[in-house]
Structure formats: structure tokens, C-alpha cells
Amino acid sequence: LALDPLTVLVGPNGAGKSTVLRALSFVLGDRWPSISQLDIPGDFRNLDTSVAIQLRCYFHPALTHEDALGKRHEVASLRFVCQPYKRKTGDKLPGDLRDMFEPLDAGGEQLMVCTRRPAKGQQPVFQPLTSVGSGLRDQARVLSITENRTIFGQLPGRRGSVLHDLLEEARRSFLRDGVGERTAFTQRYGQAVDALRTDELRSVEDTIEETARRMLGFMGGKAAQAFSVRFGFTDPGSPHSSLRLLCNQDGVLLPADALGSGEQSAIVVGMFEAFRQKGTGLNTVLIEEPEMYLHPQAQRYLKRLLVDLVDAEQAQIITTTHSPVFADMTRFRSLRLLRNGAGGATIGTRVKDPDDLSFLDNELARAKLTQYFNAESAEVLFSRGALLVEGHGDRLAALEVAKRMGLDVDGEGLSVVDCGGKNALPFYARVCRSLAIPFVVLHDSDVYDGDDLAQWQRDENTRALDANERIRAAAGPDAAIYAISPSLETKLGVGRSAANKPMHVLKAVKDRELEALPASLVDAVREMARLASSPAPEREP
């Protein structure tokens, strides 16, 4: 799965979006990958532990390892493998699981490195680099924001948390004690603790300490003698790691992790804004459903913030989403559509053909879609099949026809997509074609019949024929395209200049039997219904 500076994983539930983030976090997150972190047998294909798990992460640019001679080696990927023993090895029986976590070069082989600087008169010792050191892993470390958007998971004491990275520079400066900050803190901390430790508090401390020593006495005198109890309100040895966010809410000072989910999620967004303003890097950030607990305006704000971080090369962002705000079709290069393929495999699709990329770039510029793009139309990325229509009136008409046919569009995972105008249809059709999303196109032909046409009608016919050809070329030779001639409004008796045309169109459809409706409209909806039973793909198109 190719991952860009900004990668948005979309697709239906159960397609593997969260699994991708979990795999990355498993290998590169705050905890070292090992068998103990696996769900056995749940993480194995079809629950079969006889088939190995392999997770391999590639890096560009490559990571670097410096050996004992100071020579730098390029590490192209890190690989975690969990597999069964094939034969008895020591106390391990066939079928018992073992794991490996190793760095590999560009060819997928182990690197030969100097492991020990030679003493005078001796030759250096070269061996394969078979394990991943903390130096390599720190270069590749990812920061993971799960769907549990709580402050607790981002506190500075947790390695790999947002606040840990944000405060790292402050922590190092404090430990250097350049202008006496650490010394001053230690002195004032002692004064504060002395002020806190009233006679009542000392009495509680003494009671706890005496009782605990008595219990520890059964373990030996040394254990009891070395034990003491004192209350403190932070860790004086590592104050930055023990910092806690406090929020003033209606005059009451509360720990941030005691607030509601929406408020905590907003604070996490604030942490990203602090990173953006600071201008420092974040490596790779994994975000599970960034829209969680945020209202639409806040979603748009966070989306712009994440895009700014990527555009400024401050971070690589990889997200899963079900929100059309984050599934921005105008940034089609960032989209990865995951779906369940034949046999239960996950198929990942992206727009990668040079002709498709060039065509979509040109369409965005020609139709100015980035300015007028309707975010709701991104639901096509989550559907099993789509009917692409020109505008709102066409969408209402198609949904009414589907209802009359007994077709539950939402229940079948289908979408009728208002593309915002005929000029935008080529863009949507090409995105669907590139991502192998089954689709049908319904549009007006806008071509006037007759021999005695006015000049403006002939001019419109020429433009319409060009537009219709653009749609056919974008959709491809195998696409199902239905055209209503000259237009849906005309067929239904709705005037071109009628006010609130979508509602007039809907009323006209409701007032007629299916047989009296334009055949292209009815046939397009029937074809959309057929898409719900399309077979799952076996591989990426």
C-alpha cells in the first residue's frame, strides 16, 4: 500500500482501514513489536497460526544505521515476522510461535555491519544486522491517535504521545539547566511540598509508612529499612513528564481528562495547532477517524490544519475516515480506497495512472471544482455503486424512482451523487473509473431536434455534443451512460426558467406512473440497482 505525505483511507466498514493503522502502529508505535502484543489467533489469517504474519514498513528517504566504525548504512525497511517453528528447537516444539524484528536493505536482505571496533592489531568484526535498535526505531517512530480521543493517551509521560513530542525540546533544555531552571525548580518544589505537608498530612504519611514497613518486614529487614512514604504533587525528577492539563470550566479547575469527549478532542486539535505554529516536525501521525466528536465546522478546521502540516512538510498524515470532509475528492492523490475482495482479501486502490492523474488535474482547473466542490458528493467513495447525476433535481427524481421500485438506496449501500453540474460529471466519472467504483451516469443530452433551429440552439447543440463526448471519454467505453433528450425538465414539462426547479421536477415525477417517466431515468436507476450485486474484485484494477 503506497502512502503519500497525506493519505486518507476510505471505504466501507470491515474493509481493513483500521487494520492498516494498527499494523503501522504495531511496528513503529510507542511499544516494541513482539508476540505479546499480538492477539493470538485473532491476528492470523483465518485464525490459522501455521501461516506466518509479516508486517514490513518501507521508508523514503531510507533510515540510517551507523556501525562501530562510524560507517553509515541505509535501511530501506523494517520487517516484523511472527511464524511457527517447523521443527523442534531447544524447548520449542513444531508449531510454537517465534518473532523477528529486523532491518533490511533496498534488496530486502540483511545488512553486514561492523559490530565491534577492533583493538589495535585486530581485524574488525562484521556480522549481519539482525535486530532493530532504538536509534533506528526513533527515526521511524509514528504517533498514533486512536478513536479513543482522550487526553490520557496524549499526556507527556507517554512516549509517542502528542504532548511528549511537543514538550521534548523544553524537557531537554530544562535538563541542561543552562540558566538554572532545574535548580530553581528543585528548590521551589521542596518549599512547596514543605508547605503542603501539614501536621495532619504528616500523620497520615507516618501511619502508611509504619504499616507498610511492618508488612515488608516479612520480606526481610533490608526491604523495610529502605522504604518510606511521602506525598508529592508531581515528579521532581521528571516534571515535564508528569505535567497535567487543567481546564477552568465555569470557575472550577478540572483535570482535562475529566472533561467530555468533545472537549478532549478539541484539546488534541489544539496540540496539532501548537505543532503547526512551532514549525517542528512530527514524523508520521496516524489518526483514526479525525472527525470523531467534532462538529462539521471543527472538522473542516482540523482538516485544513492537517493539510497545512503536510504542505509545510512538518508531518506525514495517515488517516481513516467516514467523513466527506476528510475524504476530499479534489485531493484525489491522497485517497486510498480499501474494500473487501474475493476470498476476504483487502484490496487497496488509488488513482495512479498518469493519464488519469493528468485528466483529473485538468478537469479540476477547467471546471474550477476546488472552489465549488460539494463535500457530500464524496459519499461515492463509501458506496457499493453510484449513480452520477448533474444536479439536485436529477438526484431527487432518481431517489423517487428508486423508492417507487422498492429499492432502498441507503440499505443497499448505493449513492445517487449530485455532481454540481454537467461540467463536473467527467471528473466524478474518471475518479470512479480510476478507483474501480461501479457507477452509472445519467445526464441531459441538451441537444435540440428539428431542421428549423435558431442559431443559439445550433450553438448550444455544438457545445452539448462536445460536453457529452467529454463525459463518454471520461467514463470509458464500458460505462453505462444514459442521456435524456433534450433534458429531464423538458420531458417532465418543467420550464427552463421555473423557480425552484428541483421541487417542480420531484412533483412531476411523483404525479406520473413509472411507465410515463423518461425511459433513460428509469433505466439508469435499474442499472444502479444492479451494481449492488457486483462481484468483489480479486485484485487492484
How many degrees, rounded to 5, is the angle at CA 356 between CA 354 and CA 361? Answer: 95
406 burial type by CB count under 10 A (0-12 exposed, 13-18 middle, 19+ buried): exposed
Catalytic positions are: 496
- Which conformational region is residue 295 in: left (phi greater than 0), alpha (psi within -120 to 50 degrees), or beta? beta
The answer to whether 276 and 308 are in contact (CB under 8 A) is yes
Question: What secondary structure, in 3-state letters, does 278-326 show?
Answer: HCCCCCEEEEECCCCCCCHHHHHHHHHHHHHHHHCCCCEEEEECCCCCC
User: How far apart are the C-alpha atoms of 89 and 93, rounded to whole Å?
Assistant: 7
User: How far apart are the C-alpha atoms of 540 and 93, rounded to whole Å?
Assistant: 39
Backbone CA torsion sign across 424, 447, 395, 398: negative
Element (H, E) at 194: helix 181-196
Q: What 3-state DSSP class applies to 447? A: coil
The answer to whether 268 and 155 are in contact (CB under 8 A) is no
Q: Which three cell numbers stand for residue 257?
A: 481528562
Considering only CA atoms, which of 281, 272, 320, 286 is closest in space to residue 57?
286
> What is the rounded (10 degree) CA torsion for 219, 224, 230, 232?
-50
Using the 8-state DSSP alphabet, how is residue 500 labeled?
Answer: T
Residue 84 bridge partners (DSSP): 97
Q: What 3-state DSSP class applies to 152? A: helix
Q: Which three cell numbers stand for residue 338?
A: 480499501
Considering only CA atoms, which of 386, 400, 490, 391 is closest in space to residue 441?
386
User: How far apart are the C-alpha atoms of 534 and 350, rounded to whole Å?
Assistant: 20
For residue 469, the one-letter residue type is E
User: How far apart are the C-alpha atoms of 222 and 242, rounded to whole Å?
Assistant: 30
How many degrees, rounded to 5, is the angle at CA 43 between CA 38 and CA 46? Answer: 155
> What is the rounded (10 degree) CA torsion for 464, 465, 466, 471?
90
